[in-house]
Chain A
């Protein structure tokens, strides 16, 4: 995979790359240890400073970073006995959403996640992570499977949104999403959602009606893409930066609005600079959320979710 470096992350990427190189050297020659330690500290400090200044729009760019770990990267790092289950048993298998059974730290779980592609070919095959109705119906089927066998549901959210196309409308995109929300609301099992990249609109929410919602530090969650918001409000899709600022879609805002329960701090320079460490942090956050829900009865789990969403909104 060719590494993409966004202009604003360049200084951090350079430092992180040097740290990585030194780490390899230090393994064979302890002589490099002090230099490694010094650089690691500097990289962390610089990244913190630089990334503290990131605009919401730059964070949107990070959430969409082509090198960012995707659902299947987390699946590989976090689960054992992963077996993908395909298809919605109605129309097709939508590769924009991957589903399957696995073990998470010994426990059987059902996994549902959006999946983007790396290569041009895979991007097209996975439709840039934008599900058609059949993708959402596959997810729905998994929620029902999990509920039937009382297994926790772990979702990974990373989509610009559900696909807006002719076929999607013909096959009932609205109904497919609505049915997902309903199935998640009903399920009497623990549901933990993690926003690993882009949380775009209804397509994201179809995997988002969870007891606990985590977001990675540079993940986003919004009702519409910033470009879409700009094109509606100002008839100018290029004003995404302005819209990203107004919509309060980055992790600190989401936490303040109580839309997410937990922000998972990312490794220096972002999850894509150290995917293994990112996966470890995500795994720990999921484990903590599951532990938090441990001991709740099936009915109590559904009630917990009901209360969580019932309280969201602002009015007088």
Chain B
């Protein structure tokens, strides 16, 4: 689980702090260039200069991928309880309340029916902002329902993963979600419906070691951290520094673990094509010359 380091700004009054917090400019994590926040947002948090992918909120993912940005949400009301009465200084109940308030969601995933270039799909997306996208009972139940409903309604599944893994605060019940979700996925497979597993930054732990690698097509965003164990755990275990690029998308591609690395900006078209090919649907009209594959405000980096 990670969090952004909070650096204290000395000597600023409340008003100044607020305007900086709002962020007129953003520094790209890739090239280090300063870019207007608006331009970055218009480009779905992909740096227009170097192509670095920064984290994108789930609402923006909907805008990027889904027709009219529309998701007919399923089971949005499911909310976590505290089966272990877990506390680590703060109670889990408190943590849930805080996360629900700041992420404006009951838990770390949204699922539902949507369309992708006119193709009906069952869609799910992790909310990394909610406790690091960790998978507890609600996430497990919703992914299970996603696969079950897709099987029932004969829809391909597109699932965007961004998760540090199982949610520790739900202990062993979190681990059980891995078995539960994969069991449901097996029914989708038996029904010969495609599962597109999209791995965002990060996809690790219990999410990686359950359904993430079981896609009919496994797609990763560029430079995402993807792996079973977190880098810190591995370093502690083997007592040596990890090589640069270890557990990044490109490393996984080189080792044969993901099928494609796809820029966020062309993901919509790519998945739509594959979904239609696997479902025996006719081809999409080719994008006309000058026709943007991605929304018009987006600039595709070189």
Q: Which of A162, A173, A224 contacts B166 (CB 8 A)?
A: A224
Q: Which of B78, B88, B168, B211 contacts A223 (CB 8 A)?
A: B168
Say if the beta carbon of A228 comes within 8 Å of chain B: yes
Question: In the complex, which range does the number of interface residues on chain B fall in?
Answer: 35 or more
Known: A247-B172, A254-B172. A315 touches B185 (CB 8 A): no
| 12 new A-B contacts at CB < 8 Å, known A185-B186, A312-B179 | A166-B246, A169-B246, A174-B212, A174-B227, A177-B209, A178-B182, A178-B208, A248-B171, A248-B172, A259-B176, A310-B183, A315-B137
Q: 1/0 per position for B1-41, CB-CB distance to A under 8 A?
A: 10000000000000000000000000000000000000000
Known: A234-B88, A316-B79. A165 touches B234 (CB 8 A): yes
Which residues in B have their C-beta under 8 angstroms from that of A168? 228-229
Known: A173-B228, A257-B172. A181 touches B213 (CB 8 A): no
The reply to whether A208 and B179 form a contact with Cβ atoms under 8 Å apart is yes
Q: 1/0 per position for A194-235, CB-CB distance to B under 8 A?
A: 000000011011001100000000000111100011001110
Closest to B226 in A: A174
B74 to chain A minimum Cβ distance, whole angstroms, is 14
**In the complex, number of A-B residue pairs with CB atoms less than 8 Å apart:** 181
Which residues in A have their C-beta under 8 angstroms from that of B79? 315-316
Q: Which residues of B contact A (CB under 8 A)?
A: 1, 78-84, 86-89, 136-138, 140-141, 144, 166, 168, 170-180, 182-187, 189-190, 205-206, 208-214, 226-229, 233-234, 237-238, 242, 246-247, 255-257
Which residues in B have their C-beta under 8 angstroms from that of A312? 137, 173, 176-177, 179-180
Q: Which of B137, B175, B190, B237 contacts A164 (CB 8 A)?
A: B237
Interface of B is mostly: helix
Closest to B207 in A: A174
The reply to whether A165 and B238 form a contact with Cβ atoms under 8 Å apart is yes
The reply to whether B208 and A174 form a contact with Cβ atoms under 8 Å apart is yes
The reply to whether A164 and B234 form a contact with Cβ atoms under 8 Å apart is yes
Q: Which residues of A contact B (CB under 8 A)?
A: 162-166, 168-175, 177-179, 181-182, 184-186, 201-202, 204-205, 208-209, 221-224, 228-229, 232-234, 246-249, 254, 257, 259, 305-306, 309-310, 312-316
Closest to A242 in B: B88
Which residues in A have their C-beta under 8 angstroms from that of B190? 186
The reply to whether A306 and B78 form a contact with Cβ atoms under 8 Å apart is no
The reply to whether B209 and A172 form a contact with Cβ atoms under 8 Å apart is no
The reply to whether A182 and B185 form a contact with Cβ atoms under 8 Å apart is yes
The reply to whether B168 and A233 form a contact with Cβ atoms under 8 Å apart is yes
B178 to chain A minimum Cβ distance, whole angstroms, is 6
Known: A174-B208, A178-B211, A246-B84. A164 touches B172 (CB 8 A): no
B264 to chain A minimum Cβ distance, whole angstroms, is 22
Can you list 25 pairs linking A and B with CB atoms under 8 Å apart? A162-B209, A164-B228, A164-B237, A171-B255, A174-B209, A175-B214, A178-B209, A179-B213, A182-B182, A185-B182, A185-B183, A202-B210, A205-B179, A209-B183, A223-B174, A233-B88, A234-B89, A246-B84, A246-B88, A247-B172, A309-B180, A309-B183, A310-B183, A310-B184, A313-B177
Interface of A is mostly: helix
Which residues in B have their C-beta under 8 angstroms from that of A186? 186, 190
Assembly CA distance A120 to B255 (angstroms): 33
A228 to chain B minimum Cβ distance, whole angstroms, is 7
Which residues in A have their C-beta under 8 angstroms from that of B175? 201-202, 204-205, 221-223
Candidate in A165, A209, A223, A310 with the most chain B CB atoms within 10 angstroms: A223
